[in-house]
Chains A and B, each alone.
Chain A
Amino acid sequence: MAVIALFLPALLLVSRAPAGPAQSSAQRLESIRQRMEQGQGLYVAKNYQGAAQIFEDGYATYPYSAFLFNAGVCYQKLEKYEAALMKFRDYLRVDPNAPDVAKVNERIAALEAALARARAEEAGVPEAGVDLDAGTAVVTTDGGVLDDAGAPPDAGPPPAMVTDDADAMKSLVVVETEPPGAPLKLYQRLSDAAAAFVVGGENKDWKEVSTASSPTNFTLAVGRYHVVVDKFRDFNVSHTNIDVQPGHVHQFKANLSQGEFMAFLRVAANVQGGYLYLDDNAKQRPPWGNTPHGELVPAGKHDILIEAPGFQPFKTTVDVKHGEQKDLEVALSRLNYGIVRLRSNTDVSVKVDGVPKGDFRIGGAPFEFQAPAGPHKIEVTSIGRKDFEGSIDIPRGQVLPLHVTMIQKYPRTGAWVQAIVGGALIGGATVAGIYSNKAYESLEKDRQAGTLTDEDSRAVAGRWLAVGSNVGFVGGTVLIGLATYNFIKDPLPESSSQIEKAVEFDDPMKARPTARLAPKLPPRERVAERSAPGTGVHVKPAPVGVGLGVEGRF
């Protein structure tokens, strides 16, 4: 359920969902409310017996006096005067300080008279309408109860607000305060024309009907009431109107303001969700809150530490006065380094600016490494795949997701074989050529010396060496040419990278901040402003006053 907060000069009304330990209390009230409304529905449908039973059961489960009163009304409608009398008497016994004690006593008296007459008639008195209480109420034959003017319940135009009458159900009003124990008074409006209730005013047409200490509950008839929580310790006075409908359960909770003894400090930053530490620079306690965060704090100096992943920690001291509300706006500056989160389609090794950074292994976590913010040259290598070289611009205090697609090297086995064989052929051809030339030179030398025979086998060897040399040169050259072509040929694309949008650092406390400005707050009067390098601090005063928080569930 959404939280709605209204800052008023004198009253703070809060409607919120039950949570935590209040859950059982809320469920309890919800159960009471369901029973009350179920009984009210049966009563309106003239199923008085059923309604009476619901109220009886309700009281058995939740001993609120409203159930007794409403059951008595149902029995009265059923002309079960004795049962009705018993319920009304129990009502007064259970709630002797009820605001309507006088009226209930009058109702009891009228019922007792009616019961007496009924018993007399049983002894010979003729049937007729009996004025049970000439001055106050008349019990009609249909069980209705006339008001003090003697008009039937449905005579004349219906009032804007249902007024109390003899047939109306009582409602349950639960009043709580935070902190508990606060003294409170309940005033009832006596006239629709009454002026609005003013604390400490004359308040004509308003009647104090009850006093109590919170928490407490009232069984009230239909009408407008005003609850006033008196000054309590150092808490301020709080008050509000309550419009009671028939057969309902109303819950009111007041969060009392401490007035001049506390201050309200609110801290906002350009990073939402940053961790706030109040007077805990050593972070020995859980965070005071997450930006933006505001809370009552004791007056005086407070150390503020703000941390957010990807940002430089910020420390400052704030001096707040009693009753002062200050807004501290901080502009956190990002870290001067970033993190590269690298993924690839295979195992790779990474260098940045020529410095090895590590390896990424397929199937494992992304490879992350830290590097100074700014442009860098990145080299990614993988066995059997084309090297990748590129530039990345590492953002300050952010994670740069980088996906490198490594393309397999085009197979060069054939080219290598061709090159090796070609080289071997050329090498062999060169050697063969050298030996052939040497053979020829040797033959020529021997010819010059006159010792060369016409069957010299060196000539045969030299001839074949020459043939082999030429064949080797041609074959080797062809193969080298093919190898050159096959070394150059590469139909596969180059390895590439995909740089994704930078993201924030992972939050080790599982609260990932988003780097955006906090929502603008309502304009306040600026009382001070301090700034640090890269960090802006704005301290604003809060209006002086008291407040009452009221939470209602209907």
Chain B
Amino acid sequence: MLARASLFPTLLLASLAAGCSWGRFSDILENGPVVFLEKPGNLQAGFGPVMQAGTQDGESRLIVGGLHGTSPAAIFSIGKGQEPNVVASRSDYCTSAAEDWCFLAPQVAFLPKTHVGAPRNLDLTGCVAVGISEANLEGNGVLFECDDGESFGRPVSDYGNYDDDVEHALKTGQDEPLAIATDGSEDPPVLVGAPTNELAWYYEPSSNVPIDLRLPVDDEDLPDGFGTSVQALRIADSSWLFAVSAQGNDGELHLYRADGARPRYLGCLGGTPDFARKMTSGLVPGPDTPDIGDSIPDLVVSDRAQVYVFDGAKLAALPPVPTDQDGYTCTLAALPESTLITSFGCGSTPQTSECSSADFGAALALGDIDGDGDNEVIVGAPAMTVRGEHGAGAILTYDVDTIGDHELKDVRFFAQGEGGDALGGSVAAVSIGNRDVIVGGAIRSGQVGLFYCSDMVPGPMRGSRCE
């Protein structure tokens, strides 16, 4: 009987000992390596397809919008350190009202500060060029939303009566997608592309005057989609390298050197399908990199299968092409030596596959992920298969140190990503102080996550989220 009596408590204790603690699941999610931003409730049409990072007073900001043309955008003050503000500080950028349209641009730009001339004559900070609208404008133009609820507009180019087309679009509710970029400086110029009318122009810093960027062809010969994607690189004070892509039949990348209000056409790069469908710029090899190290940003572009890293300084040094020259040729073959620092394609890992159909290069960003002072190339592959989930998407990070040298350093994805999430449809990098973290948008599932941990992050910099 004693043995029988002792059986029950023994079993009970054994069961309790073998039981599982459920508190550890809360612990493991706390300070997780991937943090989702909360999607604002008013962003009904997606969350993440439009994304742009910036820095305001040393603090990282992130503009996240839904589908361009229909959705508003939100701005997140990510802050520093590993405790991000996941709730948008504002989410009403480019909000349309009845007969008060605002078409969110597929590519937006962040302006830490700018000046609005007369009659308002305002110095504004934390502005975002969000799209095209008639709000706060006497006419139609590019809309800038700034801190403290301020906003202003700058008129679009009137080349070919484009402003009339914009007005018509705003009256009829037809999207007029713009591609907007700055060079990332405090008071940057603003480069704008209008692919529907094959136009591109720029505003000098704090200027309301659009300066058209022309091609050496007649208007009827302008390439389709000219202005689909734009990128601005600061060469020197009041000197910039502008890159404008045309995504027509073949991808074309047209380069301009602008010194103040005087732009000059430098030529066309291309020759591969969808060349320059996405672009970004920044210092890829650091200033201390032998042979190619300088302080001029480099240009990173992608086509359907590859990513190309061009030396910005060498591109800016290309000789101008007269605008009265009849026609142009888009090729990489005529580039000077070492202008193309490197190019690379998709790389697979044990957990990622089907690189050939991964839509590698659908989004590009540069960020100092490992905190070594130069940027790594962050490439979105939204159609990549992850852990067997087709189209879950991944973000691949490459380190480029010397000419012709590149290395796939890291692959990020949502651990619980599902097929069709399309992570990597948009990417960005935000600074958390001593390094940058990757921001990835799963444009179909409407998720935006900050990837705090990377295999590239040195141990001392990993922080509690990466332990």
Contact = CB atoms under 8 A, between A and B. Distances in A.
Interface in B16-71: 16, 18-22, 24-26, 28-30, 32-36
A485 B412 CA distance: 56
B34 A463 contact: no
Interface residues of A, number: 44
A382 interface: no
Contact of A456 (B14, B412, B413, B415): B415
A453 B414 contact: yes
A69 B452 CA distance: 159
B36 A443 contact: no
A545 to B, nearest CB: 84
B349 to A, nearest CB: 10
A415 to B, nearest CB: 14
B4 interface: yes
B455 interface: yes
B36 A453 contact: yes
Interface residues of B, number: 36
B20 A433 contact: yes
- Point out which of B4, B21, B22, B451 has the most chain A C-beta atoms below 10 A from its C-beta: B22
Interface string B94-133: 0000000000000000000000000000000000000000
A464 B22 CA distance: 7
A481 B8 contact: yes
B161 interface: no
Given A433-B20, A440-B24, A477 B12 contact: yes
Given A446-B415, A459-B28, A484-B7, A453 B34 contact: yes
A460 B25 CA distance: 8
Contact of B34 (A442, A450, A470, A484): A450
B48 to A, nearest CB: 14
A469 B20 contact: yes
B26 to A, nearest CB: 7
Given A452-B415, A488-B4, A466 B29 contact: no
Main secondary structure of the interface of B (DSSP, over half): mixed
B454 interface: yes
B25 A466 contact: yes
A474 interface: yes
A447 B25 contact: no
A450 B454 contact: yes
Main secondary structure of the interface of A (DSSP, over half): helix
Contacts of A443: 25, 28-29, 415
Given A433-B19, A463-B22, A477-B15, A452 B28 contact: yes
- Point out which of A454, A470, A480 has the most chain B C-beta atoms below 10 A from its C-beta: A454
A127 interface: no
Nearest to B33: A450
24 contacts: A429-B15, A430-B18, A433-B19, A439-B25, A440-B24, A440-B25, A444-B28, A450-B33, A450-B451, A450-B455, A453-B34, A453-B414, A454-B32, A455-B36, A459-B26, A459-B29, A460-B25, A466-B19, A470-B19, A473-B16, A477-B11, A478-B12, A484-B7, A485-B8
The 8 lowest CB-CB distance pairs between A and B, nearest first, are A450-B453, A446-B415, A473-B15, A466-B20, A466-B22, A481-B8, A470-B19, A451-B415
Interface of B: 4, 7-8, 11-12, 14-16, 18-22, 24-26, 28-30, 32-36, 412-416, 449, 451-455, 466
Interface of A: 426, 429-430, 432-433, 436-437, 439-440, 442-444, 446-447, 449-460, 462-467, 469-470, 473-474, 476-478, 480-481, 484-485, 488
